[in-house]
């Protein structure tokens, strides 16, 4: 039950609130993209977790502020036990405290047995989750904001007046800007991409798989404040499942358009994206491109493969007969691209929780391919570097058992004065190498624009 609830002044742009704590370690902002887009309703802001869980390979380090212990237990189970028995919130807000952070794509190695062939050159945790006793919730529909606390951490009561005063204050504009110190480098040139593309097509012809998501990574040398980069990113590419996470090991900047898994009162929803086309320069061209995507048999078939995969994945933890597909091939439009988005729903089994569902579906099928395990093995074989946070997930799991999470696409990692970002797409039997290669740059356009340009010829090896 919610122990503390204080209304604070509503701000149309929640980044102004997060700005007050953006440089604190473990500060996190789950960002609906408002006011740059109006798809989302709620933003969530917090910092100062009373417990953190960081996973490297088979070891999870649990820090409660007084001691650090190491466990080889399943990390999803460790979060579940840390959250404890579900509580019932006294408000109707979707999140009132609990676990927040990221699950990197490479955490999938704790679930599936994969060959260790790609090079890991960015060493940050496979999972970084904090337990947050207080949270700022911003409701853009009601134009209200609240500071909510659970009093699971003794510091919440001690700091409540200070926290309330902080989020009532105007604060100040942080002025540390970022500067770029290199050209953008890709980890595959066009020939290398084409060779990997052809290997996937051969696997498909041989019956190994139906679809494989092939991604390339971009990197650039940067100095300055990653929060400043994120503020520019959310202007370039506002997204309903965006996030900024100031992890002590590296900042995560996500402008994801894709929901991975949501649980609300046992009802499950996932919204896989498959099918992408660029935005047009003029209204008529833009409309024609959107219609082209909607009518594309290839993109619809690609989307349907992932819908079937996600139906199967959520069925592991959903009640028999509850899984449905209420929406297929809906068009969603963003700053640089149009997407085809489908919706799959279900209801959790009586003995299952949100973290069981997350583990059973991780990593998301829309960014692996089908069948999932074979697609992940091929990704491991062909991509030169580990995916890291990319194609993992950021989100929350509440003390009440509810959850919401994204697929960490359109996501950057700031680590040791370098920024890394990725872009890719699903390769199927009738994919064409030139259009798939170009699609990577269309998806990465808003990110690459932050550092140099948004054309493929601005990117070198």
**Which positions are catalytic?**
258, 274
- Find residue 267's DSSP bridge partners: 264, 347
- N- to C-terminal Cα distance for the chain? 54
Q: From its phi and psi, is residue 144 left (phi > 0), alpha (psi between -120 and 50) or beta?
A: beta
CA distances from 412 to 34, 198, 333 (A): 20, 28, 21
Tokens of 370: 């089908």
One DSSP character per residue, 310-354 reads: HHHHHHTTB-TT--EEEEEEEEEE-SSEEEEEEEEEEEB-TT--H
Q: How many CB atoms lie within 10 A of CB 109?
A: 17
Tokens of 434: 């030139």
CA distance 123 to 388: 8
* Burial call 115-151: b when 16+ CB within 10 Å, e when fewer: eeebeeebebbbbbbbbbbbbbbbbbeeeebbbbbbb
Tally the C-alpha atoms within 13 A of residue 256's C-alpha that lie toward its C-beta: 30
For residues 298 and 317, the answer to whether their CB atoms sit within 8 Å is no
Collapsed DSSP state (helix, strand, coil) of residue 151? coil
Where is 378: in which H helix or E strand? helix 372-382
Would the CA dihedral through 356, 361, 364, 366 be positive or negative? negative
Q: Among residues 244, 11, 22, 16, which one has the least CA distance to residue 138? A: 11
């Amino acid at each position: 039950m919610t122990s503390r609830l204080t209304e604070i002044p509503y701000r149309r742009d929640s980044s102004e609130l997060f700005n007050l704590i953006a440089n604190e370690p473990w500060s996190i902002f789950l960002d609906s993209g408002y006011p740059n887009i109006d798809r989302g309703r709620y933003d969530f802001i917090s910092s100062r977790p009373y417990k953190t869980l960081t996973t490297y390979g088979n070891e999870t380090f649990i820090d409660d502020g007084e001691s650090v212990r190491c466990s080889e237990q399943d990390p999803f189970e460790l979060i579940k036990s840390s959250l404890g028995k579900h509580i019932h919130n006294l408000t109707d807000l979707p999140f009132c405290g609990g676990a927040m952070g990221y699950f990197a794509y490479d955490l999938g190695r704790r679930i599936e047995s994969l060959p260790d062939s790609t090079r890991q050159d960015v060493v940050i945790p496979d999972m970084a989750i904090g337990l947050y006793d207080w949270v700022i919730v911003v409701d853009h529909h009601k134009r209200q904001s609240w500071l909510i606390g659970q009093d699971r951490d003794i510091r919440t009561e001690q700091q409540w007046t200070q926290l309330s005063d902080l989020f009532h204050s105007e604060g100040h504009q942080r002025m540390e800007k970022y500067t770029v110190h290199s050209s953008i480098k890709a980890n595959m040139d066009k020939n290398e991409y084409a060779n990997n593309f052809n290997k996937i097509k051969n696997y498909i012809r041989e019956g190994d798989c139906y679809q494989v998501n092939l991604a390339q990574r971009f990197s650039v040398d940067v100095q300055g404040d990653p929060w400043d980069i994120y503020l520019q990113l959310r202007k370039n590419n506002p997204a309903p499942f965006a996030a900024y996470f100031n992890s002590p090991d590296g900042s995560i900047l996500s402008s994801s358009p894709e929901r991975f898994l949501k649980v609300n009162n046992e009802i499950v929803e996932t919204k896989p994206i498959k099918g992408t086309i660029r935005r047009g320069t003029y209204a008529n061209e833009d409309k024609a491109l959107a219609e082209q995507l909607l009518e594309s048999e290839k993109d619809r078939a690609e989307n349907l493969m992932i819908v079937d995969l996600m139906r199967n994945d959520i069925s592991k933890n959903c009640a028999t007969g509850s899984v449905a597909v209420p929406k297929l091939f809906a068009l969603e439009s963003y700053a640089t691209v149009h997407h085809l988005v489908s919706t799959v729903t279900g209801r959790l089994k009586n003995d299952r929780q949100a973290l069981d569902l997350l583990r059973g579906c991780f990593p998301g099928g829309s960014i692996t391919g089908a069948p999932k395990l074979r697609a992940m093995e091929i990704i491991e074989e062909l991509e030169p570097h580990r995916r890291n946070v990319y194609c993992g997930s950021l989100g929350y799991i509440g003390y009440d058992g509810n959850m919401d999470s994204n697929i960490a696409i359109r996501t950057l990692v700031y680590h040791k004065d370098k920024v890394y970002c990725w872009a890719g797409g699903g390769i199927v039997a009738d994919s064409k190498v030139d259009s798939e290669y170009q699609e990577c740059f269309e998806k990465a356009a808003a990110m690459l624009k932050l550092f140099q340009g948004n054309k493929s010829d601005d990117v070198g090896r």
